[in-house]
Amino acid sequence: MKTISKNVILMYFGLIFTDQAFAQGTDQTCTSSNSEAATQRFEKVQGKMDQLVKVGIPGIAAGVKTSEEYWSGSAGLSSLENRTPMTVCNLQYLQSISKTYLAVSILQLKDQGKIDLDKPVSDYLPADLSSWISKSNVMTVRMLLNHTSGIPEYNYLPEYITVLLQNPDYPFEPRDYMELIEGKDLDFEPGSRYSYRNSGFVLLALMMDHLTGDHAAFIRENIFDKLDMKNTFYRESPDYLEKSALVDGYWDRHSNGIIENSSYLQKQNVKKMVGDDGIITTPADGIRFLEGLISGKLISPESLAEMKTWVNDSKGLPQYGLGLDLTTLGGKEAIGHSGGGLGAGSQLYYFPEQKTYIFLAINLATVTGSPIHTEAEKILNELYLEIFAID
């Protein structure tokens, strides 16, 4: 899911590890160490992270890579009930950041000559699925990637929300999301304007399934394996979210500042998502992905330039490319994506002027309102300012 506000993705770094830190369980291998100099340089960042925990964020993990060094840290708890400390080796929910991974895989197919971004999506879909989507013969792959397709949003439909909250065990299949919008009129004419749509990325995943046999396997082989991302997981098995290193999720269900465990609902929701959500990772692997993309290890320079061709929002400001978001954090231009769910929030951004990559993740829902968010927003901005102030 998309976060409610990009500027309220509550997160933070924390406890800096100078020893090896191994993820809980045996489902991954992860180590982390920071130099003494880095520990000192990031001391004020640590302080801001501590403040975020004090105002109610359960736990946070972070990674920062500059042109000179990599630092990672964590604070708070990955499980409140078990009093388990958050570590940089805990697996975090990427939520909508997963869209960037899917977009990259589609650009890889484009580089291979298997997809034309400006051809109708109907050219790449099974006939029956294509018939469900209004104007699929006009809607292009590019329009789905940059949210200008006008496809209806499944996430807004009462019938989806009812099933999600009242029957979280319902076995949603990828096509079920498209059935929810089958035959519905488009929200606007394809290509006429920008409006964020999770549905578009579900359709793109189904398109990739048709072209490659399994979009998730394609992503694992052409992104995870290519960049040696050993601590990143996506639909390799039905129970891939049962890894012991995965954080517990929490939410402020009644928006009153009282946190409850939402792990079950969070897992049931995320494991059914395809294309628009679903990947779990560590800070180091998250940064490894974005750096691999920006440095040209995954797609051609021409395709990267297309990803960074922005469409404007309703205010006429550049907003979104092909699976990439353009925003401002800590007063600096940032390229990447954010994500939020019923038990997590995350940010993964590259700051071109500073040549810096930042990954932040928390285990508190960012799609429900909370007074905790209000207090955390100011601290989060200060956290970014502290990062940029480091010599």
C-alpha separations of 99 from 90, 106, 156, 277, 339 in Å:
21, 11, 18, 7, 9
Which residues, listed in sequence order, are joined to residue 85 by a DSSP beta bridge?
77
Show the domains of the chain with their CATH numbers: 36-389 (3.40.710.10)
C-alpha separations of 263 from 279, 300, 331 in Å:
16, 39, 34
Tokens of 209: 């399934």
The count of other CB atoms within 10 Å of the CB of residue 122 is: 19
Q: 320: part of which helix (H) or strand (E)?
A: strand 318-320
pLDDT digits (tens, 9 = 90+) for 75-127: 999 999 999 999 999 999 999 999 999 999 999 999 999 999 999 999 999 99
Tokens of 107: 């650009």
- Do residues 197 and 155 lie in contact, with contact meaning Cβ atoms separated by under 8 Å? no
Tokens of 108: 């890889």
pLDDT at 239 over 70: yes
- Do residues 288 and 229 lie in contact, with contact meaning Cβ atoms separated by under 8 Å? yes
List, as one string, the DSSP characters of 66-90.
-SS-EEEEEEEEEETTTTEEP-TTS
Tokens of 106: 């589609």
pLDDT digits (tens, 9 = 90+) for 336-380: 999 999 999 999 999 999 999 999 999 999 998 899 999 999 999
Residues in CB range of 347: below 8 A, 6 or more apart: 6, 9, 11, 97, 329, 336, 337, 338, 339, 358, 359, 360, 361
28 pLDDT band, cuts 50/70/90, is low
The helix/strand/coil state of 248 is coil
Q: How far apart are CA 275 and CA 282, in angstroms?
A: 19
35 pLDDT band, cuts 50/70/90, is confident
Q: How far apart are CA 187 and CA 150, in angstroms?
A: 5
pLDDT at 22 over 70: no
Q: What is the pLDDT of residue 33?
A: 77
pLDDT digits (tens, 9 = 90+) for 317-339: 999 999 999 999 999 999 999 99
Q: What is the pLDDT of residue 12?
A: 29
